[in-house]
Chain A
Amino acid sequence: MIRWDVIEGNLPLIASKLLEHLALTAVAVGIGLAISALAAYFIRGRKRLVGPVTGTFSLLYTIPSLALLAFLVPVTHLSFLTAEIALVSCTLFILTRNILAGLAAVPTDALEAADAMGYGRFGRLWHVELPLALPLIMAGIRIATVTTLGLVMVTALIGFGGLGQVMLRGYNFRNDTLVLVGFVLTVALGLAADLGLGWLGRAVTPWSRARGT
């Protein structure tokens, strides 16, 4: 079923689509993280804002990605922007929720100690709260990245899609080898990101390992 000559002949295509897949994901998670961090910063401690903002993000998360793309295409056309808006929309809920949960989990003792030591608002956030919230923030980044790697495939319908494009070509041209190559690489990418970011999460929070969590 696998034809090695097909893989050899399509190596440049496969490599460039793999890179596109990684780039689409990295941009989406990066922008998603920036927006989520800002949103979390502004709404934390403001009870009246938390509900509407997380509710909106939750709604964007529930709307299927293909529908999100379809809403956008008439306005922003078959563009990189369309793909990224849809992808970023899906990361916002996961990231914002995990950042808020991470900050909420910081022990009051640590906050009081930081205040007593004379930390200002930003000093306390940067030197005390963020490090303590890091395990849950990293968990959010991990889930958002693996989710986005999968959603990127759907953007093949508007001409992007990375490995989704490889699979779509295989499907359109009845080329089973391309379908299989796209599938195997996609799953490998998802598992590698899951394990890699899990490892990174533990590496940047060595203190949490000492506690056995």
Chain B
Amino acid sequence: MARPGGHPLVAGTGDVMAVLTSTIAWFLDPAHWTGVDGVPSRTGEHVILSVLAVVIASAIALPAGLVVGHADRGERIATAVAGIGRAVPSYALLILFVPFFGLGFSSALPALVLLAIPPILVNTVTGIRDVDADTVEAGRGMGMTGREVLMDVEVPAALPVIIVGLRTSAVQVVATTTLAALVAGGGLGRYIVDGFARQQDDRIVAGAFLVAVLAIVTERFFTWIQRQLEGRPGTLRLDVPIAPSPFGGRVAD
């Protein structure tokens, strides 16, 4: 059955092979690779919005986390931020901001930044706090100033844990940027939301595939950096807390 725009309507057939074939055809269609709604343009929007959100969140959470972790004070505030951050769903934040900031980018960016802050903040504070006390003492004994101890001793030792915080944030942000399409934002979520609205299974599945690949690539990228820093192959995922209290002695197993 032909649809306006020439897209085959497969929605509702439940025929997996038909969906797969039409999705492959969708990717092979040159029309889907050019213009504002083309794959390169939508991927670009997705990546730019995600990177911007993580960079802004880092600019806020990294210095704050370093100060709190180094001073060993104010961790109750950091814990509270983390707890509330966990309880506020990204979807809820995104829609909440529309009446205040308007549609699209202007709502999506602040929502994404707020979501990206808690994991970076918590991991930075925990990472700095958990640096071996003897090592810090040795630094002080050598006559290092507080600033030197932080930058030359604590930060290098805490870096793998901080990178895990960045990874958690980045993967969450890439996932949530997909939802930005709901509030008239761009990015790869457009294909899924528009596909739902127009009942085009090929568009829906193509969008889902692109989003999934981007999320996995992001996760792998940060895992790779983390392993380079640790200098050993790790198989454990540290980004999902094993115990809810971020200051229960370990951030993850």
Q: Contact check: which of A77, A170, A176, A187 meets B12 at CB < 8 Å?
A: A77
B19 within 8 A of A: yes
Binds B, one of A31-39, A65-73, A116-124: A65-73
B243 near A139 with CB under 8 A, answer yes
A11 within 8 A of B: no
Q: Contact check: which of A59, A101, A151, A167 meets B95 at CB < 8 Å?
A: A167
A87 within 8 A of B: no
B144 within 8 A of A: no
B182 near A64 with CB under 8 A, answer no
Shortest CB distance A106–B (Å) = 14
Which A residues are in CB contact (< 8 Å) with B73? none
A24 within 8 A of B: no
A83 within 8 A of B: no
Interface size in chain A (residues, C-beta < 8 A): 57
B242 within 8 A of A: yes
* A70-B192, A143-B241 known; A76+B174 contact, CB < 8 A: no
How many A-B contacts at CB < 8 Å in the complex?
154
B166 within 8 A of A: no
B244 near A179 with CB under 8 A, answer no
> What class of interface size applies to chain B in its complex with A?
35 or more
A62 near B95 with CB under 8 A, answer no
Q: How far is the CA of A93 from the CA of B99 in the complex (A)?
A: 36
Give the interface centre of A74, A142, A171 by most chain B CB atoms within 10 Å.
A74
A167 near B92 with CB under 8 A, answer yes
B29 within 8 A of A: no
Shortest CB distance B19–A (Å) = 4
B87 near A191 with CB under 8 A, answer yes
B134 within 8 A of A: no
